[in-house]
Amino acid sequence: MKIAVIGGGSSYTPELIEGIILRATQIKADEIVLVDIEAGKEKLEIVGSLAKRMIKKSGLPITIELTFDRVKAITNADFVLTQFRVGGLDARASDERIPLKYDVIGQETVGPGGFAKALRTIPVILDICKEIEQYSNDAWLINFTNPAGIVTEAIHKYTSVKAIGLCNVPINMKQMTATILEVDRDNLNMSFAGLNHLVYATKVFVNGEDKMSTLIERIAEGRNMNMRNIHDAPWDKEFLQALNALPCPYHRYYYMMDEMLIEEKEAAELRGTRAEQVKVIEKGLFETYKNPNLDVKPKELEERGGSLYSEAAISLISSIVTNDHAIHTVNVPNNGTITDLPDNVVIEVSCTVNSEGPQPIQVGKLPPELNGLIQQIKAFEQLTIEAAVTGNKQKALLALTTNPFVPSSKVAKLLLDEILEVNQAYLPQFSMKALV
């Protein structure tokens, strides 16, 4: 079994390698190819050497190859994992900084920041998919590249690749719920529905008993339900009780927009935006990875937002390989699962997974308090994809204006002009349009 990792030089790769080692008996990988762009040569070599040491220590018969040749990596792969970042952390920093100038939330995956990242990423992922269609058309693509839901929707709309969008938020919510309720994660029965970075846990059961109100009470008392990369603004108890569903950590940007914006602006001034902080963390991580005696995933990786990424990815692969029908929350085409959304949009939802891939568990109609925000963000996502594929500036303007972080069409226009200007090198679809 061959696994190709696109963006193999990412600092998250040791997470993945650890997962492959821990699940070796189920997934039986024998070939891992880490591929990256030539500009990422140094990182690929450092991460690749650590990955090789980790595999050597495990004693498993797995080869690791490093390459810049994407087609070679993709050819005959059984699984292609995408975890790349077009424009690197510099582009992420500008995604976070530009909106702040206009008093708008600046975040890498949601709002105008996520919009900019989608414009840069979608043309690249569609190119990768053309290669998969040509050189390994039966491969599964597990997409972790952000904004994961939007990117996965673009893949399903424009290619025939078997793609699953994956995020570590649902598995982290489940893990934190297990900790808060003091139960084993395997004894917890949770249902998730929504969109990527906008997913709700709609049911929480332990041994047949509904635990949603206990969970909500404990979170409102301050128990941790957050990711490392998000400011830990406390939830309002009455609001959570009224909602009677568990919002994901990213919902803070929507439900506490004022508070989150104030904090973001202060943090950007004092400590830098998250991308600027991550640059410092990454520098330290790569220094650690260089140590020739290191042959395990280092503890320092936990400072990043990607915890449990490997478990989510590798257990998903394992369910496909072993046909175990386990439940995973992943990004898949809606096809009637949430009845108020079109069939061809991608949602994040609990699915049973077998060798045919994820089978969404029916949701039906969502209550208005969940449906309202989901409809608005899905409209923003659809427009963003259309803009990214066509380079149509009107669609781009409509996308930004539809986003709830953006207060007016005037601000949307200012944001759009700046985003297109700063990202020019990565947005050929827009500059080509300018020539017409």
The CA radius of gyration of the chain, in Å to the nearest whole number, is: 21
> Rounded to the nearest whole angstrom, what is the least distance from the CB of residue 365 to ligand G6P in the complex?
27
Q: Which is nearer to ligand G6P, 122 or 278 (CB)?
A: 278
Residue with tokens 């495990």: 58
Give the integer Cα–Cα distance in Å for 375 and 345: 11
Of 210, 93, 162, 77, nearest in space to 358 by CA? 162
Pairing outcome for strands 2-6 and 140-143: unpaired
Give the integer Cα–Cα distance in Å for 160 and 151: 14
> What are the tokens at 89?
């952390």
Q: Evaluate whether 147 touches 117 at the Cβ level (below 8 Å).
A: yes
Identify the sign of the CA torsion 116, 235, 195, 129: positive
> What are the tokens at 22?
């821990």
250 a catalytic residue:
yes
Q: Which is nearer to ligand G6P, 274 or 395 (CB)?
A: 274
Q: Which is nearer to ligand G6P, 169 or 416 (CB)?
A: 169
> Rounded to the nearest whole angstrom, what is the least distance from the CB of residue 435 to ligand G6P in the complex?
34
> Rounded to the nearest whole angstrom, what is the least distance from the CB of residue 167 to ligand G6P in the complex?
5
Q: Which is nearer to ligand G6P, 146 or 177 (CB)?
A: 146
> Rounded to the nearest whole angstrom, what is the least distance from the CB of residue 286 to ligand G6P in the complex?
14
> Rounded to the nearest whole angstrom, what is the least distance from the CB of residue 146 to ligand G6P in the complex?
5
Residue closest to ligand G6P when measured from CB atoms:
305
Q: Which is nearer to ligand G6P, 97 or 304 (CB)?
A: 304
- Count the Cβ atoms, other than its own, within 10 Å of residue 359: 12
> Rounded to the nearest whole angstrom, what is the least distance from the CB of residue 110 to ligand G6P in the complex?
10
Residue with tokens 């530009």: 98
DSSP type of residue 338:
B
SS3 category, 364:
strand
List 12, 102, 200, 250, catalytic entry = 250
Q: For the chain, how are helix, strand and coil distributed in percent, rounded to 5?
A: 55, 15, 30
Q: Which is nearer to ligand G6P, 11 or 136 (CB)?
A: 11
Of 111, 212, 228, nearest in space to 168 by CA? 228
> What are the tokens at 48?
């690749």
> What are the tokens at 84?
């790349």
The number of helix segments (H) and strand segments (E) in the chain equals: 18, 13
Q: Which is nearer to ligand G6P, 203 or 231 (CB)?
A: 231
Binding residues (CB under 6 A) for ligand G6P: these are 109, 146, 167-169, 227, 229, 274, 278, 304-306
Q: Which is nearer to ligand G6P, 43 or 304 (CB)?
A: 304
> Rounded to the nearest whole angstrom, what is the least distance from the CB of residue 83 to ligand G6P in the complex?
9
CA 435 to chain centre: 34
> Rounded to the nearest whole angstrom, what is the least distance from the CB of residue 228 to ligand G6P in the complex?
6
Contacts 24+ apart (CB under 8 A), 287-295: 289/11, 289/14, 289/46, 289/47, 289/49, 289/50, 290/46, 292/49, 292/53, 294/50, 294/53, 295/50, 295/53, 295/54, 295/56, 295/57
Q: Which residues are catalytic?
A: 250
